[in-house]
Structure 1
């Protein structure tokens, strides 16, 4: 089957031999190779490829009239990420086109397959950057100044041409297939599910400043140690999230001067917070900030918190979700929420009726080399996407 062949082609691209994880950051060799792979697959199917100055791609099956149906996902990964997050949706979309043609389907309106860049925000720190620019939710003037960990500006690796594709005017609905990033479908013993919405979430930079000093000669009571403030703030975040039944993660850290025998002068940490309501998110981040600030006062340090990106609650089109989930062999697909962010959330916020199809993840592990989906479930996902697109293209 075409899906299995494509998956074999994708498997080695950007894979680290030691960890088994993937490094497919935007505007690096592996990600560029993946975009070239997508272009070749589209050309082999006679699809018309549209590319903007950022690297976003949409391949069109020109047929019928009216506003298009759009599907697809992304090809970039988190640092040392899994194989399925993103590429599964792209390969499945191409395989679904093959299946639709095998069924003899003639779409009554155009079908597009989209690949949006920098979905993970793993290089320039802004999640779903490509889709934000594609729908005009973020301006190039703002985005071009974003810098990666090496200080390279986005404007130095992309030219920023033709970014706003006015998708809200051209697209009638968007369906993104994605590996589930949790265990809901496993617990339900279901291979396929449909998303009801996305939890509100945000990324916040915690800058803690203190005084650099000698690790051996400086008495403990004389220190102004930002690492201590950060450590207690991280513990507070864990406790507050657990008490509230929400999510708080410090997963990235930058320390200066970063010496083994020196008390640091600065610790910068990034908090990823996700909650079931916008009010709960604001309350959780506010409480973590309050506790961190109080600890800084005791440590003789200073804490500044900056919200780098915040996304509100996304409620996917309920009628579209029910339409896709209903009347399948074996029963209706379950409709479930997710706490993970996706390009689908950006397109939904831009006014495009949007749905997501999830493929079962047997362990629930994601953003990790251990991320997985069984081949049988992936093929079920291709069939499910083809069924959904056929309904929408009729």
Structure 2
């Protein structure tokens, strides 16, 4: 079966009629359908599927064991995301297994395809949640208290999916099984397009994090409150969006994005009492990322004071810059005939695992350069080229 056929089989799951694209979030209805689809496809290939204590799926070729060659990605999306971010890596991994079997290959090391849950953080707000829990990169009790916009906690969602929240947390057994992890992903940018290459190897991931800023003012009537009498938290929140743009522009290679604003109570004719705003900030290293955030935080305090409001800043997640294992990177590039070596501004489960096991990433060309949006794309030919490249890499590592 082709990568395109596998992706086509799930093209209606989680389709978002309002935003466009797909909204598939950890342990929601769409995600559970995708988990069932993966389990079925793995079973068709004779792969034995198990679910670990943090909800990751593992499909084993042969007996599970230590020093395994592991590949895979995630199936969840951002709200209104594209069709390739995550599912491409899973579908390509299944096709790579098919290709290896067609070649008559038998792995000499354990080999597994894995699916990590809630990589995008679209439901509970913490990116790479499954891999962070596995590695102990997040406090377990705090993670279980995370809630979605409807007030459902992660603990509740896990229980509804048949998982025991009491078993969630750092999983030494699962980590010890991974000898090397290779994640294939659609490129989130235009590097391969400009280099006219269908496949590349990841070099590094920018330092990045998420912060919540809460501006607190005085809720009041939109018609009865004079402009001079207002303490409107939407005013500093609006100014903060522009301040973030200025701060990131001033520091080379950095990015700052406000992608979500939630006013309370949220009425058209109501001055809000609070406005929550989420900031995503990234740069090439910890020093520059922290500098951008410090500049934005200073601007937030000044903007709030000017309007007679207060502001609190809470760091919700952070990851330092990741440079993938150089020897492994060069080895895989050599296996693939010297493909390009590219940095990325996007976070991935491979980046979380990199602090614990050798990891690498393969990118598949995205001609639009757009990701986290419906316009995200990869041609069928490039998707198949990615699966062949992944098969070559797995054969080399598991030989």
State the TM bucket, normalised to the shorter chain. over 0.9
Partner of 2:244, secondary structure, is: helix
What's the CA shift string for 1:92-140, capped at 9, x where partnerless?
A: 0000000011111111101011100000000001111111122333343
**Is 1:174 the equivalent of 2:181?**
yes
Which structure 1 segments of 5+ residues have no match? none
Q: Does 1:340 align with 2:346?
A: yes
Residue number among 385, 395, 398 corresponding to 1:390 in the alignment: 395
Structure 2 counterpart of 1:242: 249
Q: 1:89 to 1:259 in 2, by over 3 A?
A: same
Q: Which residue, 372, 389, 392 being the options, matches 2:377?
A: 372
- Residue 216 of structure 2 is aligned to residue 209 of structure 1: yes
Indicate whether 1:185 and 2:174 are aligned.
no
**Mapped partners of 1:64, 1:87: distance in 2:** 23
- The number of residue pairs the alignment matches comes to 391
Secondary structure at 1:118's aligned position in 2?
Answer: coil
* Separation in structure 2 between the aligned mates of residue 66 and residue 232 of structure 1, nearest angstrom: 52
Confirm or deny: 8 A CA contact 1:52 1:163 kept in the other structure: no
Q: State how 1:41-80 maps to structure 2 within 5 Å.
A: 41-62=41-62, 67-80=67-80
Match of 1:271 among 258, 263, 279: 279
* 1:1-394 aligned within 5 A: 1-17=1-17, 19-62=19-62, 67-158=67-158, 159-160=164-165, 161=167, 164-166=170-172, 167-245=174-252, 246-326=254-334, 328=336, 331-349=337-355, 351-394=356-399
The CA deviation at 1:28 is: 1.4
Instruction: Report the RMSD for the aligned CA atoms in angstroms.
Output: 1.5
Where does the alignment leave 5 or more consecutive residues of structure 2 unmatched?
A: 159-163
CA separation of 1:53 and 1:67: change in aligned 2, threshold 3 A: closer
Q: Distance in 2 between matches of 1:63 and 1:183?
A: 40
Q: Shift of the alpha carbon at 1:296?
A: 1.1
State the distance in 2 between where 1:155 and 1:309 align: 19
Contact 1:196 1:321 survives alignment (8 Å): yes
CA contact (8 A) 1:199 1:314 kept: yes
- Is the CA contact (8 Å cut-off) linking 2:86 and 2:185 kept in structure 1? yes
> CA 1:385 to 1:157, structure 2 compared with 1: closer, same or farther past 3 Å?
same
- Which range moves more in the overlay, 58-67 or 375-384? 58-67
CA distance in 1, matches of 2:141, 2:193: 44
Query: How many Å apart are 1:165 and its aligned residue?
Result: 3.7
